[in-house]
Each structure stands twice: as C-alpha cells, then as structure tokens.
Amino acid sequence: MDGQATTEQPSMPRPRERSARQLGGAMAASLLRRRSRGSDLKVGLVLVHHEVATEQGTPGRDVVPAQSTSLFEGQLDHLRRH
C-alpha cells in the first residue's frame, strides 16, 4: 500500500441473481399464503419503502432506488385483492 485510501464500490447483483431472489421470495410468499389460509393463525404484513416518488429510481445508479407512485399503487391494489 502506498498510503492512499481506496474506496471499493459494492457490487450490484446481476440481473439473473436478482431474478432468482425475486422468484424465491415469490415462491416463499405463495407457500406462506397457502399455509396461513388453512390455519386459524392471524398473520400480519409490514411494507417498508424507503421512498415513493413520481418516477422510478435506477437500481444501477441509486443505492436504494425509489419506487414509482404507479408501482406503489399497483402493489397496494394487489394486496387489496389478496
């Protein structure tokens, strides 16, 4: 080392890795939904959004990209239906 500080950029997940994670999350959610419907257990849901904005953020540029208003409204509609 020559005494200069270096900053490493965190690596972003590749599109296939991101898709696999999303698919895994969807599969887990589907399984939990099926199990809970046949049960007397009460289930709660917590949604966390760092930011909802008029335009969608850019995952490759933003550390935590904003969710667009239309996407957020679509998610709420989906929750109302299920």
In a domain, 4, yes or no: no
**Which band of pLDDT confidence, cut at 50, 70 and 90, is reported for residue 13?**
low
| pLDDT tens for each residue of 17-50 | 666 666 677 787 788 778 777 778 777 777 777 7
Rounded to an integer, what distance in angstroms lies between the CA atom of residue 67 and that of residue 52? Answer: 5
Domain that holds residue 34: 14-40
Q: What's the total number of domains in the chain?
A: 2
Q: Is the whole model's pTM more than 0.75, yes or no?
A: no
Q: How far is CA 67 from CA 3, 37, 50, 52, in A?
A: 41, 29, 8, 5
In a domain, 19, yes or no: yes
Let me know whether 35 and 49 are in one domain: no
In a domain, 8, yes or no: no
Let me know whether 50 and 78 are in one domain: yes
Provide the token pair at 11. 């690596």
